[in-house]
Structure 1
Amino acid sequence: MITELGDGVWQIPCGAGPSRWTRVNAYLVDDDGDLTLVDTGTPRDGGRIRAAIRETGHEVADLERILVTHYDVDHVGGLASLLESSGATCYVGAGDAGFLMGREKPPAFHHKGLFQRLLGPVTTQPNADPELVADEAEIGSFTAYHTPGHTPGHTAYVSEVRNVAFVGDLVMENHGELSPSPWALSYDTEAVTESIHELAEREPAVEILAMGHGTPFVRAGAVRLAELGERIEE
């Protein structure tokens, strides 16, 4: 069941299972008439996302753009099929684009890279190249912020107009508390910490903080992220 987090901003629960890391969020935004999807769940979530889009009164063909926070199977699993059926434009951080398109393999000598490499065969590659997102690039009402650490090309998308920050797996929520992406699921936890501090300093004071795993905050989201930054060492 979708949840409206704010005016024109919906949470789409995806994934399955008992763990917060096996349940994942995609998000839909009516960005002043430009329908925007943020992340696409697992390879099994395409139908769920299509149904959610219809539930909001839209059609998949209405999708203008898909913003990818990072390359992981639970965030890009439905991407290829949704791009094919919608004709939308995909945006992704340059550091993850090679993995997404199959032109680079994640490093087998790294614990996170090995995990991505093992799950690569279940992820269908898009037919068209994505748009590479520069730091502070403007996409509709969104500003993109490079937030590496969980993956090399991890990117957050913040819309002051829609009062929301989509932060992917930079952080997760558990029982009302935020925590950084953990070592087991990150390329570089020091970079994660640095990215949290930098995003907290740079992003506008939006209310909604929407993460990949956990329950989004609908009030004081930017404040919550800044408080996490104060609790962790740089």
Structure 2
Amino acid sequence: MKIIELPIKFEFNSQKNYLYPSLIIDNNELTLVDTGYSNFLSLIENEIIKNRYEMKDLKNIIITHYDDDHIGSLYDFKEKYPWITIIASKVEAKYISGEIKSERLVQAEEILEKMPDEEIEFGKLFIQQLKNLKHVPIDVKVRDGDMILDNKCKVIATPGHTSGHISLYFPSLHSVITGDAAVNENQKLIIANPHFCLDIETAEKSLDKIKNLKADTYYCYHGGKFSL
């Protein structure tokens, strides 16, 4: 088993940005962790193929949490590759499948009511972007401590950014895929977007939780790979 990061380059507000979905390779079976914004399908496909893997071997997608930059292309992946098994926490599954309005949308609507006039247009666009996300049913719902991927990956509950956020720990690789429980900023692990955390105190505890795993490598969705 090994993990590689997929640097996805895109433009936002006329600035170049990157996201770093992770690809887990095990016995020629591929598992993608998070799917980027909507319309990222071809960008992620290109990175996978560039690394000499084939999309026919993509068996699973794990979603760390409901946010538009993590689930934006999930529907497109499932449409194009219907055999894929989609995995998420039991809590986040309710939002991804559309069973319940997402926490992020509720938060965005509440923030909009307090926004200064010059920011209202952006707030409305963000809300519409969330509403445009297509719901996808979750095939496997996991909890803290569950072992998945042939018992080689341990699900770590890391709430705070969202209530059902999960990270992934690989004991044999001494590695963690953090989702938004941590970002790599100037070679330091810090909380992702603290202003958007639904519970900042819980997010701080989750950051400590994955730091205390003392992994050799942390694969951060924002900022890329962090190695001790």
Q: TM-score, normalised by structure 1?
A: 0.79
Query: What's the secondary structure of 2:21's corresponding residue?
Result: strand
Aligned pairs for 1:14-163 (under 5 A) are 14=8, 15-17=10-12, 23-86=18-81, 87-107=83-103, 110-111=107-108, 118-126=128-136, 128-140=137-149, 141-163=152-174
Question: Does structure 1 retain, via aligned residues, the 8 Å contact 2:65–2:88?
Answer: yes
AA partner of residue 30 (structure 1): I
AA partner of residue 74 (structure 1): D
More displaced 10-residue stretch of structure 1: 146-155 or 48-57:
48-57
Question: Does structure 2 retain, via aligned residues, the 8 Å contact 1:91–1:133?
Answer: yes
Q: What displacement does 1:106 show? A: 2.7
Query: What's the secondary structure of 1:58's corresponding residue?
Result: coil
More displaced 10-residue stretch of structure 1: 65-74 or 179-188:
179-188
Q: Distance in 2 between matches of 1:20 and 1:208?
A: 28
Q: Structure 2 residue aligned with 1:196, among 207, 211, 228?
A: 207
CA RMSD of aligned residues (A): 2.6
Which structure: larger Rg?
2
Q: Distance in 2 between matches of 1:88 and 1:124?
A: 17
Q: Which runs of 5+ in 2 are unaligned?
A: 112-122
Q: What displacement does 1:163 show? A: 3.5
Q: Distance in 2 between matches of 1:71 and 1:119?
A: 13
Question: Does structure 2 retain, via aligned residues, the 8 Å contact 1:149–1:195?
Answer: yes
Correspondence 1:165 to 2:176: yes
Q: What displacement does 1:124 show? A: 2.0
Question: Does structure 1 retain, via aligned residues, the 8 Å contact 2:11–2:17?
Answer: yes
Q: What displacement does 1:90 show? A: 0.9
Question: Does structure 2 retain, via aligned residues, the 8 Å contact 1:37–1:65?
Answer: yes
Q: What displacement does 1:102 show? A: 1.2
Q: Distance in 2 between matches of 1:20 and 1:160?
A: 37
Q: Distance in 2 between matches of 1:27 and 1:10?
A: 6
- Cα 1:180–1:49, aligned 2, differ >3 Å: closer, same or farther? same
